[in-house]
Amino acid sequence: MSNNILNHQIRLAARPVGFPKDSDWLHTEEPVRELNEGEILVKTLFISIDPAMRGWMNGGKSYIRPVEINEVMRAGGVGIVIASKSDQFQVGQHLSGSLGVQEYWIGMANDKYAGFYPIDPQVAPLPSYLNALGMPGMTAYFGLLEVGQPKAGETVVVSGAAGAVGQTVGQVAKQHGCRVVGIAGGQEKCDFVVNELGFDACIDYKGGSVKDGLKQHCPNGVDIYFDNVGGDILDTVLTRINMKARIIICGAISQYNNTTAIKGPSNYLSLLVNRAKMEGIVVFDYVKRYPEAVQQMSEWMKAGQFHTREDIIQGLDKFPEALMMLFEGKNFGKLILQINPSQG
Amino acid sequence: MSNNILNHQIRLAARPVGFPKDSDWLHTEEPVRELNEGEILVKTLFISIDPAMRGWMNGGKSYIRPVEINEVMRAGGVGIVIASKSDQFQVGQHLSGSLGVQEYWIGMANDKYAGFYPIDPQVAPLPSYLNALGMPGMTAYFGLLEVGQPKAGETVVVSGAAGAVGQTVGQVAKQHGCRVVGIAGGQEKCDFVVNELGFDACIDYKGGSVKDGLKQHCPNGVDIYFDNVGGDILDTVLTRINMKARIIICGAISQYNNTTAIKGPSNYLSLLVNRAKMEGIVVFDYVKRYPEAVQQMSEWMKAGQFHTREDIIQGLDKFPEALMMLFEGKNFGKLILQINPSQG
């Protein structure tokens, strides 16, 4: 059946210097081949646009191998199985995994790199599986709880507060009885995290001084800072941390497109003064515990105590543009690309 | 008896910009007053010259209040009680505490700021109580063991390896079965830590590339880095850390005299990639546990398994010069000022 289907793909053409540009991408198409024994054919429905993608485009050693030149760009996604020669997945079943920036994925159902697991659209809408119930949500959940170890009454600050990870960090922290202060770009995003997600306050870094905002909204200092942005905001928060504070290093979107060296936190000696720690988190370390987080957050969702927001862009070809939206802070909510609208 | 005695003192005259200079100090003398009830008069024998002194000279909030202008410069020291109206200390008894850069200390025996505790010259030579058995040793011992949590077979790297903290970090790590690699300035210091202290290797940062040295001497990467220096060396070690590495932030002597902002670690995202942590340590948090560390290290000393080296400068007036030696890396071993040689 499958060799009538054309698979459109976006591949990495060159390693970007600074912001990715059009010539760093290659748009290709190829017919979908026949299935072999044990394989499945997946139709991509949604893919996740993540800050981490920028790192995957660089060469060199990191927590995951780089995307090779001419390889289909790596992307987490959700899709539906449309052909199967495997016992593991049946036609019509939904799954999540590393589908790549392409319309179809073909290969062994148990492919380790793809890491497919079944998802249930009855439990939550499909885009949720790329947001709170997907990688960003797992990152937020385990980063906050395992590295941050929040205690009721503590003050938690999270940057990128309206983004995929930030939304979940703040809401999980509220569920644990913390005071939660977001940092986001623009009044609209700030209003959203306060009014719709229930944060206690939000600092608009584009509209005023983060330092003043922290003074105002964190009168008892900062016990946990969940950092998604790095740069000046990290440095400013370091001046307001409490004794034994925990800083969770999840990302540094302000620095990913630098053509010069990354700006290290000049105020890192605040860690010494305050006997505080700064610790990195990579979500893959918690893969065996994803089900407990999914169960907990979907319960909160059903109870109306947990909300998410996605910013969904239409069409595979919009991928390069969507990625730039992320670096420019133009998305509002978890950024997702819908690949085959007719099948959503 | 005491009002025939003149007390020479060195006071802070101005807050330095960059390296402290002569005009930042005020040399004063005043007669020692009569003792009141509960007070003791202590004759200073040795004082400790520490990198932390530079921070105490700055204004602003830190882990300890700044030295005020015209106040006697803060310094830890060991001395002998030469007059007492307290039950707590008898004449002839040796003690350790915050004596300041002066020949005599007078005040309440239980003064909290001074924090005196008795020491025994039979257990170890007096200068040891400002080195392995004093603040630097306690910092090294608890920083390494409590924050670092070393396991046998792991690789521990320590900068300022021939300095007061570094000597102890390396030897305690060896006692716990670790591979220990020092970083120090000059071949002589490197030879000392390898041949006399038993480190497995030492990298001469003045004689070659720290990066190459780490590649050569830490073939399995770095599990624990005990940082006394900050700056470029911290950044270089960050490129060689292992998964779940622990970086203990104890100091940043390379940065203390900066007139521009401190150089933050540009490679801090290595914490993310490696799920590693960077944590500050302040020795005062472990004050109740000092006795266990003193007992353990003095046992090792008696058994000939633990060595220390002090660099002892003579005379109160040499204090400003001695402090500069530290920032220029000219001391070889724990830097100590001997105040009253006749009483040593």
Give the pLDDT band (50/70/90) at residue B62: confident
- Tell me which residue in B230, B252, B273 faces A280 most closely, judged by beta carbons: B273
- Find, among A76, A79, A11, the residue nearest to A41 by Cα: A79
* Mutation for B interface: A241, A262, A269, most B CBs within 10 A: A269
Mean of the pLDDT values across residues A101-123?
94
> How many Å apart are CA B172 and CA A262, to the nearest integer?
35
| Residue A343 pLDDT exceeds 80 | no
Give the pLDDT band (50/70/90) at residue A344: very low
Minimal-distance CA residue of chain B relative to A272: B280
> How many Å apart are CA B251 and CA B327, to the nearest integer?
12
Q: Measure the CA dihedral B20/B23/B27/B28, to 10°.
A: -120
Q: Which fold is adopted by the domain B2-131+309-343?
A: Quinone Oxidoreductase; Chain A, domain 1 (3.90.180)
Using the Cβ of B215 and the Cβ atoms of chain A, whether some distance falls under 8 Å is answered with: no
| Residue B343 pLDDT exceeds 80 | no
Mean of the pLDDT values across residues A86-115?
96
For residue B280, list its beta bridge partners. Answer: B249
- Assess contact for A315 and A288: CB atoms under 8 A: no
Angstroms from A215 CA to nearest CA on chain B? 15
Q: What are B211-245's pLDDT values in tens digits?
A: 999 999 999 999 999 999 999 999 999 999 999 99
| Residue A95 pLDDT exceeds 60 | yes
Q: What are B144-181's pLDDT values in tens digits?
A: 999 999 999 999 999 999 999 999 999 999 999 999 99
Using the Cβ of A229 and the Cβ atoms of chain B, whether some distance falls under 8 Å is answered with: no
Q: What are A142-188's pLDDT values in tens digits?
A: 999 999 999 999 999 999 999 999 999 999 999 999 999 999 999 99
Minimal-distance CA residue of chain A relative to B64: A273
What kind of architecture, by CATH, is found in domain B135-284? 3-Layer(aba) Sandwich (3.40)
| Residue-averaged pLDDT of chain B | 93
Domain with CATH 3.40.50.720 in chain A: 136-284
Domain with CATH 3.90.180.10 in chain B: 2-131+309-343
* Mutation for B interface: A139, A278, A284, most B CBs within 10 A: A278
Q: Counting beta carbons within 10 angstroms of the beta carbon of residue A228, is it exposed (0 to 12), middle (13 to 18) or buried (19 or more)?
A: buried
Where residue A293 falls (left for φ over 0; alpha for ψ -120 to 50; beta otherwise) is alpha
Give the pLDDT band (50/70/90) at residue B342: very low
Chain B residues near residue A270 by CB distance under 8 angstroms: 280
- Tell me which residue in A264, A273, A278 faces B63 most closely, judged by beta carbons: A273
> How many Å apart are CA B220 and CA A109, to the nearest integer?
36
ipTM for the predicted complex = 0.85
- Assess contact for A318 and A337: CB atoms under 8 A: yes
**Residue A330, SS3?**
coil
User: Which letter, b or e, does each residue of A157-180 get, where b requires 16 or more Cβ atoms within 10 Å of its Cβ?
Assistant: bbbbbbbbbbbbbbbbbbebebbb
Q: Which pLDDT score, from 0 to 100, does residue B64 have?
A: 85
- Tell me which residue in B250, B263, B280 faces A264 most closely, judged by beta carbons: B263
Give the pLDDT band (50/70/90) at residue A234: very high
Q: Which pLDDT score, from 0 to 100, does residue A253 have?
A: 82
- Tell me which residue in A251, A264, A270 faces B265 most closely, judged by beta carbons: A264
Mean of the pLDDT values across residues B265-289?
93
**Residue A342: partners with Cβ closer than 8 Å, 6 or more residues away:** none
| Residue A243 pLDDT exceeds 90 | yes
Chain A residues near residue B221 by CB distance under 8 angstroms: none
Q: What are B79-117's pLDDT values in tens digits?
A: 999 999 999 999 999 999 999 999 999 999 999 999 999
- Tell me which residue in B255, B272, B279 faces A277 most closely, judged by beta carbons: B279
Chain B residues near residue A54 by CB distance under 8 angstroms: none
Minimal-distance CA residue of chain B relative to A286: B275
| Residues A265, B263: C-beta atoms closer than 8 Å | no
Give the pLDDT band (50/70/90) at residue B3: low
Identity at B236, one-letter amino acid code:
T
Low-confidence winner among A213-217, B10-14, B132-136 (lowest mean pLDDT): B132-136
Angstroms from B91 CA to nearest CA on chain A? 37
For the domain covering A136-284, report its CATH number. Answer: 3.40.50.720
- Structure tokens, A13: 């053409």
